Amino acid sequence: MSDENKHHTTAAALLPLVGGADNVTSVAHCMTRLRLGLRDRSLVQDERLKALPAVMGVVEDDTYQIVLGPGAVARVTPEFEALVEAERGGSAEAAPEQGTGAVTAEGLAVQGAAMRAERKKRNATPFKLFLRRIANIFVPLIPALIGCGIIAGLNGLLINLHWLPATTPALAAIASGFMALITVFVGHNTAKEFGGTPVLGGAVASIIVYAGVADVEAFGRHLSPGQGGVLGALGAAWLGVLVEKWCRRRVPESVDVLVTPTVTVLVAGLATLFGLMFLAGEVSAWIGDAADWLLTHGGAGAGFLLGGLFLPLVMLGLHQALIPIHTTLIEGAGFTVLLPILAMAGAGQVGAAIAIHVRLPHNTSVRATIKSALWPGFLGVGEPLIYGVSLPLGRPFVTACAGGAFGGAFVGLFNQLGTDVGSTAIGPSGWALFPLLDGNHGLGRTVAVYAAGLLAGYVAGFLATYFFGFTKTMLRELDAAPDTSAAAGAAAQPPAPAGRVTERV
């Protein structure tokens, strides 16, 4: 079967299991997940959907999120959208019914679903919903950050090897073009997210990167093109939305098309030039200095805390506050030193899953789940391992976080010793982060430190889970034959409130 047919078949299998086209209100995707807005959640056939070979897991948040993995999700989404439109128009044939198939580790899956539902309800606070909206601004930019980041890494390698000297300037232009204009895209997405006209948001944000701002003086200093960066663009576009909405309520319809855009760009633009650019520039500089200070002085301790606490932050919905911080660091230094440390959380999960596989030799259901989810886990797709294995079991989730802490401590230690390990983009994790690595001491040393950090996370997660992840009672109940696996899964005590893993951490 060709890739095109495979992705069409996957989309056709998914549509009836989420209640058909009439039940779908929105379709979007991020790095690994197909995100669906649904009218009636009860129409979704969860177990049959999870049994599909292409589905790695399901996450419930403000949208219904089906984990398909990197690459696949970008190809399945347009096929799914086409089927939705065709079915709504009455021109599509009925999607084929899928066989039910066996559900692996059913008891653990039920517990994981209950935890996701509980976390979704708990995280629907105004502050966390605001953070989610901020994340929605940056998540659509991730594919461009990844593509340009890989090209930048390739160009750096060619320059170091003195290969293709006539080509490297062209590659540098390709890699840098998006970052030079990222503020425009942030402004566009900000206006779209907060209910304004996207192009007006982009127009206001474009002021920040216009070369002529060097002639403008604010707070006794001349401005610099790009000063304030993505934070300034976000603030400028948000202010533009407020001005635009104010105008829409008061300007007569006969002149609205002339007055509203003009006033929006003028007022928000002046505020950007004579306030936001300076203030956002100071905040951006502070973020960069704080990250450098944290890893220079905190080192292993800071890495231990960041690597160990990242997944709990994800469960609380607070991880989304890191996205603009990552983007600001990339814009300023060319890479973010925080992401490789946070990626160690996934390494701890992988090590813990291997330990669970070893400790439960008779529970074929859980072992089958681990086997199917382990390779995605190596590539940074952690949802299947977390929601299907470690989180419902409880203690293994905690020991997995401990593994991430030790991996983060390893990478943090090298940052303290002067070897910066950074990523030129956000989104990928695990092995998928290798093409995006960058640092201050050459690619070879950066890759070696990151790889050793992953290994430390794998080993620490394995050892912590093997020796401390199970009580004797848990082992007796869980290490059972397949016919008792569901009961064994239900007997495991759930951990503290949980949530989903993100934009592949």
Q: How far apart are CA 237 and CA 216, in angstroms?
A: 20
Rg of the chain over all Cα atoms, to the nearest angstrom: 24
Of residues 30, 148, 247, 401, which has the active-site annotation? 30
Single out the residue of 318, 317, 323 nearest to residue 336, CA to CA.
323
Phi, psi of 421 (to 5 degrees): -115, 110
Q: How many CB atoms lie within 10 A of CB 203?
A: 22
Alpha helices in 162-225 (DSSP H): 168-180, 182-193, 198-206
90 Rama sector, left if φ>0, alpha if ψ -120 to 50, beta otherwise: left
Nearest to 153 by CA among 442, 444, 438, 445: 438
Nearest CA-CA partner of 352 in 465, 452, 430: 465
| Cα 468 to Cα 398, 403, 462, 480, distances in angstroms | 10, 12, 10, 19
| 3-state per-residue secondary structure call for 343-392 | CHHHHHHHHHHHHHHHHCCCCHHHHHHHHHHHHHHHCCCCHHHHHHHHHH
Cβ atoms of 205 and 299 closer than 8 Å? no
In the chain, count H helices and then E strands.
Answer: 23, 8
**Token reading at 194:** 């907060």
- Strands 421-423 and 437-439 turn out to be antiparallel
Write the CB contacts of 438 (distance below 8 Å, at least 6 apart in sequence): 152, 153, 156, 334, 335, 422, 423, 424, 446
Compute φ and ψ for 223, nearest 5 degrees: -75, 160
- Read off the tokens for 286: 């502070």
CA-to-CA separations, 179 to 156, 335, 450, in angstroms, rounded: 16, 12, 25
* Cβ atoms within 10 Å of 99's Cβ, excluding its own: 8
Please provide the distance, in angstroms rounded to a whole number, between the alpha carbons at the two ends of the chain.
Answer: 32
- Please confirm, yes or no, whether 148 is among the known catalytic residues: no
Query: CA torsion 17→23→27→30, rounded to 10°?
Result: -50
Answer yes or no: are the C-beta atoms of 330 and 424 closer than 8 Å.
yes
Catalytically annotated residues: 30
